[in-house]
Amino acid sequence: MNERPLALLPELLLLVGAVTTLLTGAFLPRGRQWVARLIAVGALLAAVLAALPAVGERSTVYAHSYALDPATTAARLLIPLAGLLVVGIAAGRVAGNRRETEFYVLTLLAVLGAVLLAGASDLLLLAVAYLLSSVPLAGLAGWGRDRRGAEAALKVYLMGALAGVGLLAGAALLIALGGGASDYDRLAAGLAGAPSPAVAVGVVGVLAGLLFKIGAVPGHFWVPDAVQGASIPAGALLTTVPKLGGLLAAYRLFAVAVPADVVDWPLLVAVLAAVTMTLGNFAAFGQADPRRLLAYSTVAQVGYLLMAVAVAGRAERALPALLVYLAGYAVTNLGAFAVLAAEPHDTLDDYLGLARRRPWLAAALAICLLGLVGTPPTAVFAGKLTVFTVAWDGGLAWLVVVAAVNTVASLFYYLRWLVPAYTPVGRCPAARDRDRPLAAVSVAAAGAALFGAAVTVPLYPLVAQTLQR
Amino acid sequence: MLSLIVFTPLVAAVLLLPWRGLPARAVSWIWIAVTGVEVAAVLALWWAYPGEGFAHEVDRPWIPGAGAGYHVGVDGLSLPLLALTTVVFAACAVYSLRRQRRPRQFAALFLALQTSCLGLFVALDLILFFVFFDLSIVGMYAVIAGWGHGPQARRSALTFFLYTFLGSLALLLGFIGLSVAARPHTFDMVALTRDPPTQGVAGALVLLAVLLGLAIKTPTFPFHTWLPPAHTDAPAAGSAVLAGILLKMGTYGFVRIAMPMLPDAWRRYAWAVVVVGVVSVLYGALVALAQTNFKRMVAYTSVNHMGYVVLAVGAAGLVAGSDAQARAVAVTGAVTQMVSHGLITSALFLLAGVLYDRGGTYQMDAYGGLAGDTPRFAALTAVAAFASLGLPGFSGFIAEFQIFAGSLGSAPVAVAFALPGVLITAALFLWALHRIFLGPARHRLSATADVTAAEIAAVLPLLALALLLGVFPRLLLDVVEPAARAVTDLVAR
């Protein structure tokens, strides 16, 4: 059975961190909630450090239900780091709020849920991880307790519940078809002889849940409303952390559990990827609110990321490509949200003259937005390049063409935000009180996004190309 | 050494950008100094070049997940363009002395742009090539959008960005296609040239993608529509770099990537390239003839001049019934034309900038009789125009002569159709000189409007180099010819 509690140390640290933060926050006066923040940051850092010794680990624990392999390791490193960036974005904005602690607790739980999603190698565990990561998201979306926040929370919760039903039903069907086994290894063997229409129904059900989680078509409806309604740090988390976990979960499900000769899932995922990127891009065209624009841009990015899932197990380097893109996307997207948090405005035109007022912030915005386009030499460029290459390698050249056309189209709406920012204006509006740490977070994220392509070099030897069964 | 040359301008740009208190004069002189050092460094590189093959190669892993590396080096194809880049950027630096709004940002942007141009010409890895290709687009977009004149500047900049970005994505698709077909997957140009990976239909599709990307950048008919508005609204130095250097990226791609890496497909579809070249020559010349705007006219003559290059590289692919010697001459002529056009057109665009600066318009009919009032300006423009129309004694003549002589054997009909292009270009330049400089004066400019010393210092070296290469072509040809022969052999295998 291989039961080693210590193998789950990073996950346990996150859980303990969440509980400790909650208890500490409950007993602290409002003026000293920063102690709770420190504990949360400490828990995230500890989780990252605890994941480092297990970098080369390749095994499964607890009756093959949880895999320890490159994908899990990447999730254990990337997701808490993304959580740290979210805390960095949030710190200045939630400090002193009476629900400050709750924000950090929910962030920790969302991070934990996403890590479990990525590592789950068992349909039942996948379902549990799904629920664990869904509930904190709804809480975070409604954290501000205003009208829009309530709408956001309700959307996330109801859509999540609906998609969760699909996931549970699909999982039940697949387990039944697979002869009662729920872990991916034995499930794959069981499904090999199962009737393919029934397997297809089960796969679509499970996929529905994951598509909601990553915000891909048709589970994307909550994304723009939630990002617009929730606070900006919560929006940053909603569009980053669950995507990291959900995409790795989808990759693992297809690469290990569902044989491609039973159900033609590569075609299904490829079509979903094409529709997602196209819809996200074209919906972003008309947006005047930068939050909605970023929200739709994250939908489009998921479309590109799904290309790597579509060739899971068929192209040699699909997993490294997915991981590189995920890392680049996470830091770039969080950088864009950090700029948004440092200069929150309701329309794109309000950014007029940003380059004059706050040149560093404008530079960070330019790097992050051009990075999201995929302009070299940014991290997302490295991701896009590798994902395009593996998709072509896996026989989906048409999808690469669609993605390239989409990339050109996406340039247009990112420029709609950049052009006002770099338009010189005669008068400068009075400088408002500036959140310097936040601006520093933006610039740091943008720097990471800019040089990401170059620093990935030492990572490749660590990323093996297959998953642990 | 090579990396140092490529990245020095970028370092200077990064240092300049946050330095708020720096006076404008100091900015200009730093900029001129950096570009001057670059010219000297490339001259030293040229001096040390052994005459054949790649020199100063560096090969390091960069994005190993994709098989892309940091591989740079120079050979006879890239060295002349490298030198051209440094010279044109130095001219722009001198020209911009005491001229621009926001001089610090302008200089930083140009220095960064110089890095991307130099990097492109030394890149020996497709992804590295693509990186610099894309960065040059971003840089030029910022130049046009930030410093362009005219109400349409932003719109032109956006058209330029979207159009050429589309081209670069097509190029990327072609590169991925090349890499995926190679075993093991690689983006290394040397490896792909040694062992061309694609055949048959796949090769044709990859060539189509690469050609589309390069044709948009060059630009050839019918993908040239972004060019005239971009040029008209760009600042003079921006136009000079756009026409002098950025257009060469497309044609350089033909000889560096399309021909050696896709020889089968290139030979099969060379006739299409020839046709596109001839149409570009004629269309560019005829449309330029119809222009009333001086800068737009020069922009269209670029389409015409690049058409000759496309014609030559296409003719070099028509292997059947032609001898290797002639095809090598055609490729040599193409590279010479790139250098020559870069020098002469940059000079013309800088002079157009002077015209706009003094008169406030590019409309040729608004002037007239300028020769009497501004003799030095008239003399420089006349020399540049004669050089551009291919007068013997200037580099343009050497280039066009080689192109026609080399292409005649394999594509006689195409050459017959393209020759009138030279005649039309001559006519339109003479007519333009007439309208601006001769006849009754319709302007209010006095003798004080003549070119300043800084402007002369920027334009004169470009024209002097065109003259030097026209009189002593061996200086250039000794380097280009071996490389051109190598390309011809690679296509014919």
Give percent of chain A with pLDDT exceeding 90: 49
Q: Looking at the domain assignment, is residue A89 inside a domain? A: no
Q: Looking at the domain assignment, is residue A321 inside a domain? A: yes
For chain B, the maximum distance between any two Cα atoms, rounded to a whole number of angstroms, is 69
Q: Looking at the domain assignment, is residue A434 inside a domain? A: yes
Helix A9-27 to helix A70-94 angle, to the nearest 10 degrees? 20
Domain coverage including residue B160? 2-492
Reference A186, options A283, A64, A341; nearest CA is A64
Using the predicted structure, report yes or no on whether residue A432 has a pLDDT greater than 70: no
Rounded CA separation B429/B297 (Å): 9
Using one digit for the tens of pLDDT, what is the confidence trace for A358-381? 888 888 898 899 999 988 888 888
Reference A365, options A355, A375, A377; nearest CA is A355
Find the residue in B nearest to A460 (Cα).
Answer: B65
For chain A, the maximum distance between any two Cα atoms, rounded to a whole number of angstroms, is 72
Tokens of A391: 């998709």
Q: Which of the residue ranges A167-181, A257-271, B89-103 would you say has the lowest mean pLDDT?
A: B89-103
Per-residue confidence (pLDDT) for residue B325, from 0 to 100: 87
Query: What does the CA dihedral B250, B255, B257, B259 come to, rounded to 10 degrees?
Result: 120
Residue B221 to chain A, least CA–CA distance (Å)? 21
Q: Looking at the domain assignment, is residue A309 inside a domain? A: yes
Residue A357 to chain B, least CA–CA distance (Å)? 13
Select the residue of B63, B161, B170 nearest A382 (Cβ to Cβ). B63
Q: Looking at the domain assignment, is residue A79 inside a domain? A: no
Reference B317, options B236, B372, B263; nearest CA is B263
Domain count, chain A: 1
Give percent of chain A with pLDDT exceeding 70: 94
Rounded CA separation A40/A107 (Å): 9
> Chain A partners of B66 at a C-beta cutoff of 8 Å?
321, 382, 385-386, 389
On whether any CB of chain B is under 8 Å from the CB of A431, the answer is no
Per-residue confidence (pLDDT) for residue A91, from 0 to 100: 84
Using one digit for the tens of pLDDT, what is the confidence trace for A8-67? 999 999 999 999 999 998 888 877 888 889 999 999 999 999 998 888 788 888 888 898
Using the predicted structure, report yes or no on whether residue A428 has a pLDDT greater than 60: no
Per-residue confidence (pLDDT) for residue B242, from 0 to 100: 92
SS3 content of chain A, % helix, strand, coil (to 5): 75, 0, 20
Interchain proximity A422–B170, CB inside 8 Å: no
Per-residue confidence (pLDDT) for residue A431, from 0 to 100: 54
Interchain proximity B135–A415, CB inside 8 Å: no
Reference A378, options B58, B134, B174, B158; nearest CA is B134
> Chain B partners of A386 at a C-beta cutoff of 8 Å?
63, 65-66
Domain count, chain B: 1
Per-residue confidence (pLDDT) for residue A207, from 0 to 100: 94
Using one digit for the tens of pLDDT, what is the confidence trace for B275-296? 999 999 999 999 999 999 999 9
Using the predicted structure, report yes or no on whether residue A459 has a pLDDT greater than 70: no
Instruction: Give chain A's length.
Output: 469
Using the predicted structure, report yes or no on whether residue B461 has a pLDDT greater than 90: yes
On whether any CB of chain B is under 8 Å from the CB of A285, the answer is no
Q: Is A449 helix (H, G, I), strand (E, B) or coil?
A: helix
Rounded CA separation B283/B275 (Å): 12
Residue A432 to chain B, least CA–CA distance (Å)? 22
B61 DSSP β-pair partners: B69
Select the residue of B18, B170, B179 nearest A389 (Cβ to Cβ). B179
Q: Looking at the domain assignment, is residue A370 inside a domain? A: yes
Reference A367, options A357, A359, A375; nearest CA is A375
* Over residues A74-90, mean pLDDT: 91
Using one digit for the tens of pLDDT, what is the confidence trace for B306-324? 999 999 999 998 887 678 8
On whether any CB of chain B is under 8 Å from the CB of A398, the answer is no
* Over residues B354-381, mean pLDDT: 87
On whether any CB of chain B is under 8 Å from the CB of A453, the answer is yes
* Confidence class for position A343, pLDDT limits 50, 70, 90: confident
* Over residues A303-317, mean pLDDT: 89
Per-residue confidence (pLDDT) for residue B287, from 0 to 100: 93
Q: Is the ipTM of this complex over 0.90?
A: no
Find the residue in B nearest to A318 (Cα).
Answer: B65
Residue A389 to chain B, least CA–CA distance (Å)? 6
Task: Report how far apart, in Å, the C-alpha atoms of B373 and of each of A401, B95, B376, B456 are.
Answer: 57, 22, 9, 17
- Helices and strands (H, E) in chain A, number of each type: 19, 2
Rounded CA separation A374/A409 (Å): 12
Rounded CA separation A342/A336 (Å): 10
* Confidence class for position A168, pLDDT limits 50, 70, 90: very high
Average pLDDT over all residues of chain A:
88
**Chain B contact probe: residue of A319, A381, A389 with most B CBs at under 10 A:** A389
Residue A376 to chain B, least CA–CA distance (Å)? 5
Per-residue confidence (pLDDT) for residue A434, from 0 to 100: 62
Rounded CA separation A87/A197 (Å): 45
Using the predicted structure, report yes or no on whether residue B449 has a pLDDT greater than 70: yes
Backbone angles phi, psi at A414, to 5 degrees: -65, -35
Per-residue confidence (pLDDT) for residue B361, from 0 to 100: 86
Give B47's contacts (C-beta < 8 A, 6+ positions apart). none
Using one digit for the tens of pLDDT, what is the confidence trace for B126-148? 999 999 999 999 999 999 988 88
Interchain proximity A401–B185, CB inside 8 Å: no
Per-residue confidence (pLDDT) for residue B98, from 0 to 100: 67
On whether any CB of chain A is under 8 Å from the CB of B56, the answer is no
Whether a cis peptide bond, with omega within 30° of 0, leads into A218 is yes
Rounded CA separation B243/B222 (Å): 17
Per-residue confidence (pLDDT) for residue A455, from 0 to 100: 60
* Over residues B30-53, mean pLDDT: 91
Conformation bin of residue A215: beta by default, left when phi > 0, alpha when psi is -120 to 50:
left
On whether any CB of chain A is under 8 Å from the CB of B182, the answer is no
Average pLDDT over all residues of chain B:
89
Name the amino acid, one letter, at A88.
G
Domain coverage including residue A447? 265-469
Burial of A185 (0-12, 13-18, 19+ CB in 10 A): middle
* Confidence class for position A469, pLDDT limits 50, 70, 90: low
CB A354 within 8 Å of CB A361: yes
Residue A91 to chain B, least CA–CA distance (Å)? 28
Reference B178, options A376, A389, A316, A324; nearest CA is A389
On whether any CB of chain B is under 8 Å from the CB of A454, the answer is yes
Tokens of B290: 């119809």
Q: Give B427-479 as a DSSP string.
A: HHHHHHHHHHHSSS--S---GGGSPPHHHHHHHHHHHHHHHHHHH-THHHHHH
Select the residue of B145, B158, B166 nearest A408 (Cβ to Cβ). B166
Q: Looking at the domain assignment, is residue A313 inside a domain? A: yes
Q: Write b or e for each residue in A48-73: b if 16 or more Cβ atoms lie within 10 A of its Cβ, otherwise e.
A: bebbeebeebeebbbebbbbbbbbbb
Find the residue in A nearest to B183 (Cα).
Answer: A393
* Confidence class for position A156, pLDDT limits 50, 70, 90: very high
Q: Which of the residue ranges A81-95, A220-234, B60-74, B237-251 would you say has the lowest mean pLDDT?
A: B60-74
Interchain proximity A377–B170, CB inside 8 Å: no
Find the residue in A nearest to B169 (Cα).
Answer: A404
Per-residue confidence (pLDDT) for residue A38, from 0 to 100: 92
Q: Which residue carries 């001459």 as its tokens?
A: B329
Q: What is the CA radius of gyration of chain A?
A: 21
On whether any CB of chain B is under 8 Å from the CB of A456, the answer is yes
Q: Looking at the domain assignment, is residue A390 inside a domain? A: yes
Using one digit for the tens of pLDDT, what is the confidence trace for B178-218? 988 888 888 899 888 888 887 778 888 999 999 999 999 98
Rounded CA separation A324/A329 (Å): 8
Per-residue confidence (pLDDT) for residue B61, from 0 to 100: 81
Residue A83 to chain B, least CA–CA distance (Å)? 26
Select the residue of B130, B165, B180 nearest A408 (Cβ to Cβ). B165
Interchain proximity A389–B176, CB inside 8 Å: yes
Backbone angles phi, psi at B69, to 5 degrees: -130, 170
Using the predicted structure, report yes or no on whether residue B238 has a pLDDT greater than 60: yes
Using the predicted structure, report yes or no on whether residue A424 has a pLDDT greater than 80: no
On whether any CB of chain A is under 8 Å from the CB of B128, the answer is no
Rounded CA separation A359/B227 (Å): 31
Rounded CA separation A172/B276 (Å): 61
Using the predicted structure, report yes or no on whether residue B263 has a pLDDT greater than 70: yes
Using one digit for the tens of pLDDT, what is the confidence trace for B386-431? 999 888 999 999 999 999 999 988 888 999 999 999 999 999 999 9
Find the residue in B nearest to A385 (Cα).
Answer: B66
Interchain proximity B135–A454, CB inside 8 Å: no
How many Cβ pairs within 8 Å bridge chains A and B? 83
Using the predicted structure, report yes or no on whether residue B64 has a pLDDT greater than 70: yes
> Chain A partners of B125 at a C-beta cutoff of 8 Å?
none
